[in-house]
Chains A and B, each alone.
Chain A
């Protein structure tokens, strides 16, 4: 489902003496449907960078990143937008939404985008928010006023609202208590069971061991300092 072939990435900082920083070289990785692959490596090794490249959020200088039939590296913005709407989900570490929009609508939005009716979307949003222990009295409020942990759980509810065939999870269990961590891990297991291909970053080793079928250490893709 996700196939990364011989991928490299540089950052060029034009305003800082045009320094070119190579951050990734010759990265290869294959994720099958129903499989979860964990990215490991020390902080700064490029785990999030690789994930953002797969999402099309960072440009890739060379190689191919196939998600389904689409090569992210050469795809048009419009094709990536379609892919993100229907096929590829991303749970980032931070919630980024329009201020003042109620939590229920924030969680429903990815479903409305694929044409689910408002009633059905709200119903599923309620189920997810209940599972993730967001108190019902908060549902009509904007999540931007919530605590960090609550925001993260709203972000997860939003990320799992539509059943994407491919998913990217950046630290989904960080800063969650035991009960909520358990809920998130079971959401991931459910997604795998329905055939989703998942790339995840987990600092929580026990969580990684439980949901990941394999691990890839991204440090091997880090270019050696010249």
Chain B
């Protein structure tokens, strides 16, 4: 089986400051990789480099494209990369406002992604949009409301619908449950797990919430000061951490 994503030796500096350095991993179809670490550990920088939002200083991000097989997304042309990010990739921002168009209706937010990949039939677009809103538990009577009238949790679910409507194969998530009520978090986690299983999605999830990665991610990568210090099965890394920093991280979680 070909990996969906092969990441080799990704480094990114901000001037002389280190963002992340020498990151390597493979991601296979249907796999969820969690990346944890404290603020400033380089996890968001890494995610942005992988998703083409930032250009890494070195390294390759090889994505198994539908048409041409494995291709380095760092060196591909900008239009090609933009096409990928509209079709095969999705990016769920921590702040739903960064991933939504706040002045457009909920249905429009979802439909817009479909139009970007060539859908033109209004009835079909609206039908698919309502179908996806239903999947993320937004009732169809809210289709014509703007996201600004939604609660934070609903905005986050709308963002997920908008991202998944085009049937991406890889989804990048930056703190997808950050800032949400725990009750909403749980529903979102269940939704994401169901989608991963039913659609065979692969995902890379950046978070600092260890409980979230335990439930969501198959594999875990721990970052500190721009480096990956430990990787492995999620439950193994959390239950038998090998690196001193990971041990500190795991033992510092407050029990409810």
Contacts and interface: CB of A to CB of B under 8 A. Distances in A.
A58 B186 contact: no
B215 A14 contact: no
Interface residues of B, number: 27
A184 B31 CA distance: 33
The secondary-structure label for the interface of chain A is: loop
B157 to A, nearest CB: 14
B15 interface: no
A15 B190 contact: no
A142 to B, nearest CB: 9
B247 interface: yes
A223 interface: no
Interface in B150-208: 182-183, 186-187, 189-190, 193, 197
Contacts of A78: 28, 31, 218-219
A21 interface: no
Given A14-B243, A99-B186, A58 B236 contact: yes
Interface in B188-239: 189-190, 193, 197, 214-215, 218-219, 231-233, 235-236, 239
A126 B108 CA distance: 41
B123 interface: no
B58 to A, nearest CB: 26
A57 B239 contact: yes
Interface in A63-111: 77-78, 80-81, 96-101
A20 interface: no
A100 B186 contact: yes
A99 B242 CA distance: 29
A97 B231 CA distance: 23
A97 B189 CA distance: 11
A12 B243 CA distance: 9
B239 A81 contact: no
Contacts, number: 59
A34 interface: no
B247 A56 contact: no
Given A59-B242, A98-B190, A100-B183, A77 B233 contact: yes
A80 B233 contact: yes
A112 B194 CA distance: 10
Interface in B17-72: 28, 31
A113 B200 CA distance: 11
Nearest to B33: A77
A58 B240 contact: yes
A226 interface: no
Interface of A: 11-15, 18, 52, 56-59, 77-78, 80-81, 96-101, 112-113
12 contacts: A15-B247, A15-B251, A52-B239, A57-B239, A77-B233, A80-B233, A98-B193, A98-B215, A99-B186, A100-B186, A100-B190, A113-B197
Given A18-B244, A77-B233, 17 more contacts: A12-B242, A14-B244, A15-B244, A52-B239, A52-B240, A77-B218, A77-B232, A78-B219, A81-B218, A96-B214, A98-B186, A98-B189, A98-B190, A99-B186, A100-B187, A100-B190, A101-B190
Q: Closest 7 CB pairs between A and B?
A: A14-B244, A99-B186, A58-B240, A77-B233, A100-B186, A98-B190, A77-B219
